[in-house]
Amino acid sequence: MTRKEMKNVTLTAQAGLTTQQATERLTQHGANELVAAKKPVLWRQVVRHLSDVSSMVLLFAVGLASYMALFQGGGWTKSIVIGSILVINVVIGMYQEASAEKALAALQSMSLPTTTVRREDIAQEIKAKDIVPGDLVLLKAGDQVPADGIVLESTNLSVDEAVLTGESVPVTKEKLTALDKVGDDQQVFSGTAVTAGTAVMQVVTTGMTTELGQIAGLLNKTKKRATPLQGRLNRLSGWLTTFAVIGGLAIFALSIWMQNQGLADSLMIGISLAVAAVPETLPIIVTISLAHGVKRMAKRNAIMRRVNAVETIGGVDVIASDKTGTLTQNKMTITRYWTPGDQPTAAEKMTPAGKQLMRYLGLATNAEIKMANGEEKTVGDPTELAIVRWLGQHDLSRTQFEQQAPRLAEDPFDSTKKTMATVHRLKDGQQLVIVKGAFDRLPVTWTAAEQAAAKQVHDEFGRNALRVLSVGYKVVGATATIDWDVLSTGLTFAGLVGIIDPPRPEVIPAIREAKRAGIKPVMITGDHMVTAEAIAKEIGLLTPGQLVMSGDELRTLTDEELTAQIENIAVYARVSPTDKIRIVQAWQKLGKTVAMTGDGVNDAPALKAADVGIAMGITGTEVSKGAADMVLTDDNFATIIAAVREGRTVYQNILKAVEFLVGVNFAQIFLMVGAVLMGWGAPLLAEQLLLINVLADGIPGFYISREPGEKEAMAQPPVANDESLFARGLGGRLAVRAVTFTGLTLGIYALGRFSLSAGQATVGMTMVFLVLAMGSMIDIYAIKDRQPLTLASLKRNPVLNGAMLLAVGLVLLIAVVPGIRDTFGLVALPAVAWLVVIPAVFVPTLVLEVAKRWQRRSTQQMVGELDLD
């Protein structure tokens, strides 16, 4: 928003824009969004794909083949075949990348923020992207400012502008007095957070023309950071590439040394082997798996705001969750009450002192329940709605009380001080001060006996899992000034109410599942210890040996002391949002990955500090959503556990892709080097190797990302940050697969060349081609499922089956159709050779299945032995 733009502003009428004006301006100014960097044009994408390692090597191979065609008279077939493989490689790469991007774009549209505007004199919630210059936006604490604008009305508006200025102390904003006097104090900026107060702002600029848009323009140019897994895989790819190059060089040197091939041919084989052994599809499989995870999580009500979080949530060790609304239903009902001198009474019964208590509660409440078209509409927080409902049960209402004692002032509730106060004018002119809130925060003056009696009831309510709300009051003179520090002291205790907030039924199995998955669930609540403890026990979160700690106790501990005890604490009661960061950091000091939930503005720092910050979609503020990595559209703890399961599935699918892509690459190197050492020459031609690589890696391998999760995904501990990719049996399985393929293909080659034909290398070659190509595709079925293969698991991934049919069909087509067959240096096989090839194709799958069962049995035995200990 520049000075010039400010000068040209005309004030919008109080009723806001008309719908027609809004539509016109949207077309004129475009959507209010930060446009992502433009996608590079097609030819640039092609050039980028051509410049990756394997394409460069393929290009070199085409050059070499053409050189051989020109100067050695070898014909152009090789150049054409390798050229086509290069094209297919680039096309598959571009297709895969486009699918990943499409999935990610869908992700962005899911987490669009909303905002309240006044148009045609009606306040309405719209998507922030539909805001236009001139719109009147209604801001309140917790909102994210959706565009740049000027403040027309303000009640104690303060805004955190850290996104723009780096300064996290909120600044106060005032309303505009005259257009030519507008300064920073009267302007608010897109992306900043309203920390307190309310305001009406008129939008001046939107989208990329806002201050944030200018920065976003710069951000677009910075590169995205790789996820930890991507980092590890990049390192693995680096190692494999080195290994591939060494393999390529070895085969080149061996071919020349053993003199079975000329220089150019040897070079060609070396290059092809190097290309075949580089797992170039791996990075894209990671992206596409993450993108699929995002989609599946969205279906389960978890919207990911950062793709990396898909991976992180799968590996969390600790989930620290708010109680109210996440672990409980947030449907609060007052069930009992108590006034001094009486016995605790059921909420349905009414005593005179009880009615007085209701009056105080009603006066100090802001919530409302209205009937609109036969439907109940509620406004306000659930604790206060419980009060309104209770009044309704006894045919009383807030309005009725307010007519007799109109409200003069309010000190709103906040979760740090945990009380709220109001002042009312009584009929006789005096002022009535009411404070309601947490029992231990209410500044009441009483005798030790009075206090002990009240505490006893409070604790009894708490032990019954009731949240307790206490009320105190005092009457001051007609002229007493409103100074909250003075007014809210020395109160008389009016009584307390017990509010039930039942746990969500699905939370109990979710907590059990979390524990089974090696995750520690932790409850964080503003409620009292006794209540928190009772609920935590009820839902199975607090088990013997685990402790409940209060916020006061927490604050007496140093960071080191907290870290030393943190593993034993399952419940934190009476904490405020600032305590949450310390809890996150203490766990992180132990090297744990922490997920933390939050809904308020002051939860934002803790959400940012956590490895996975989780905001509430229904009750959360826009600011908390902006700071979070994941938003729960149903505010439900069980959804977090569902997301963990999805995250783990993504991780496992990526590992399965590694297993699928890497094992055979090793086998190819061993096969080539082994055959040459035996003096047989190269058992596969360059173009055959390349073809196997493109078809098997590119087609079925790609669809492994769509595998549904393993049943046992939640029966294992989380993956540690530094856990090797080869842990949990992957290294062993890779070795089994590489050895099987090497042995099998060498054997098949010898059989084809020396027994089934009269020393024809091409027969051996064709058989190896078929077994390696089809065998390495089909055994994806043994890899994609950690459980023994069944008919059901064969049917579970239809897209993969389709891709498999296509790939196997292509291989057969190439090996059988005469014209194509010759192009790839293959020959027609005698029937007996087919009788060997067909069963041989299934050998690797069988070996893997047997190894799988054996591995399962030995782990089960191990577990059994551990159990005995």
Active site residues: 322
The nearest distance, CB 561 to ligand ATP, in angstroms, is 23
Give every CB contact of residue 59 below 8 A, 6+ residues apart in sequence. 50, 86
742 binds ligand ATP (CB under 6 A): no
526 binds ligand ATP (CB under 6 A): yes
* Range in contact with ligand ATP (rule: CB under 6 A) among 461-469, 632-640, 682-690, 717-725: 461-469
The nearest distance, CB 625 to ligand ATP, in angstroms, is 16
Cα–Cα distance measured from residue 391 to residue 134, given in angstroms and rounded to the nearest whole number: 43
Cα–Cα distance measured from residue 645 to residue 34, given in angstroms and rounded to the nearest whole number: 32
Report residue 305 as tokens: 């705001």
Restricting to residues 466-505, name those near ligand ATP by CB under 6 A: 467-469
Cα–Cα distance measured from residue 424 to residue 220, given in angstroms and rounded to the nearest whole number: 54
Contacts 24+ apart (CB under 8 A), 532-538: 532/323, 532/571, 532/572, 532/573, 533/462, 533/571, 533/573, 534/462, 534/463, 534/464, 534/465, 535/323, 535/327, 535/328, 535/465, 535/503, 536/570, 536/571, 538/465, 538/503
The nearest distance, CB 352 to ligand ATP, in angstroms, is 24
Which residue lies nearer to ligand ATP by CB, 342 or 410? 410
* Range in contact with ligand ATP (rule: CB under 6 A) among 248-256, 463-471, 779-787, 819-827: 463-471
525 binds ligand ATP (CB under 6 A): yes
The nearest distance, CB 323 to ligand ATP, in angstroms, is 3
314 close to 519: Cβ distance less than 8 angstroms: no
732 close to 130: Cβ distance less than 8 angstroms: no
Among 322, 513, 611, 629, contact with ligand ATP (rule: CB under 6 A):
322
The nearest distance, CB 522 to ligand ATP, in angstroms, is 12
482 close to 323: Cβ distance less than 8 angstroms: no
622 binds ligand ATP (CB under 6 A): no
* Range in contact with ligand ATP (rule: CB under 6 A) among 62-70, 199-207, 520-528, 851-859: 520-528
413 binds ligand ATP (CB under 6 A): yes
Which residue lies nearer to ligand ATP by CB, 132 or 420? 420
96 binds ligand ATP (CB under 6 A): no
| Burial class of residue 58 in the structure, from the number of CB atoms within 10 Å of its CB (0-12 exposed, 13-18 middle, 19+ buried) | buried
Among 78, 323, 336, 520, contact with ligand ATP (rule: CB under 6 A):
323
The nearest distance, CB 571 to ligand ATP, in angstroms, is 10
Give every CB contact of residue 205 below 8 A, 6+ residues apart in sequence. 1, 5, 133, 147, 148, 149
Among 438, 643, 699, 851, contact with ligand ATP (rule: CB under 6 A):
438
Which residue lies nearer to ligand ATP by CB, 618 or 715? 618
Cα–Cα distance measured from residue 519 to residue 279, given in angstroms and rounded to the nearest whole number: 33
Nearest to 155 by CA among 197, 184, 192, 186: 197
Among 196, 420, 497, 519, contact with ligand ATP (rule: CB under 6 A):
420
* Range in contact with ligand ATP (rule: CB under 6 A) among 16-24, 94-102, 411-419, 760-768: 411-419
- Here's the x/- map for ligand ATP, 528-547, by CB under 6 A: it reads as x-------------------
Judging by DSSP bridges, how do beta strands 520-524 and 122-127 pair with one another? unpaired
Q: Cα separations (Å) of 624 from 193, 602, 613, 615, 632?
A: 10, 8, 9, 6, 12
DSSP characters over 539-564: TT-S-TT-EEEEHHHHHHS-HHHHHH
* Range in contact with ligand ATP (rule: CB under 6 A) among 170-178, 376-384, 502-510, 689-697: 376-384
Which residue lies nearer to ligand ATP by CB, 398 or 467? 467
With CB atoms as reference, the residue minimizing the distance to ligand ATP is: 526
Among 118, 418, 737, 786, contact with ligand ATP (rule: CB under 6 A):
418
458 binds ligand ATP (CB under 6 A): no
Q: Cα separations (Å) of 516 from 548, 641, 687, 713?
A: 21, 11, 50, 10
Which residue lies nearer to ligand ATP by CB, 497 or 738? 497
Cα–Cα distance measured from residue 826 to residue 830, given in angstroms and rounded to the nearest whole number: 13
Which residue lies nearer to ligand ATP by CB, 422 or 649? 422
Report residue 529 as tokens: 């210890």
* Range in contact with ligand ATP (rule: CB under 6 A) among 91-99, 523-531, 672-680, 751-759: 523-531
* Range in contact with ligand ATP (rule: CB under 6 A) among 276-284, 416-424, 783-791, 808-816: 416-424
550 binds ligand ATP (CB under 6 A): no
* Range in contact with ligand ATP (rule: CB under 6 A) among 50-58, 280-288, 393-401, 430-438: 430-438
- Using DSSP's 3-state secondary structure scheme, residue 635 falls into coil
49 binds ligand ATP (CB under 6 A): no
The nearest distance, CB 123 to ligand ATP, in angstroms, is 23
Which residue lies nearer to ligand ATP by CB, 421 or 770? 421
570 binds ligand ATP (CB under 6 A): no
527 binds ligand ATP (CB under 6 A): yes
Q: How far is CA 273 from the centre of its chain?
A: 39
DSSP characters over 91-103: HHHHHHHHHHHHH
Q: Is the dihedral of CA 825, 828, 832, 834 positive or negative?
A: positive
**What number of chain residues touch ligand ATP (CB under 6 A)?**
21
| Burial class of residue 531 in the structure, from the number of CB atoms within 10 Å of its CB (0-12 exposed, 13-18 middle, 19+ buried) | buried
| Strands (E) located in 754-863 | none
Which residue lies nearer to ligand ATP by CB, 155 or 415? 415
Restricting to residues 377-396, name those near ligand ATP by CB under 6 A: 381, 383-384
The nearest distance, CB 505 to ligand ATP, in angstroms, is 18
Cα–Cα distance measured from residue 497 to residue 501, given in angstroms and rounded to the nearest whole number: 13
111 binds ligand ATP (CB under 6 A): no
580 binds ligand ATP (CB under 6 A): no
The nearest distance, CB 641 to ligand ATP, in angstroms, is 18
607 close to 613: Cβ distance less than 8 angstroms: yes
The count of other CB atoms within 10 Å of the CB of residue 555 is 13
End-to-end CA distance of the chain: 70
Which residue lies nearer to ligand ATP by CB, 442 or 829? 442
Which residues would be at the binding site for ligand ATP (CB under 6 A)? 322-324, 381, 383-384, 413, 415, 418-420, 436-438, 467-469, 525-528
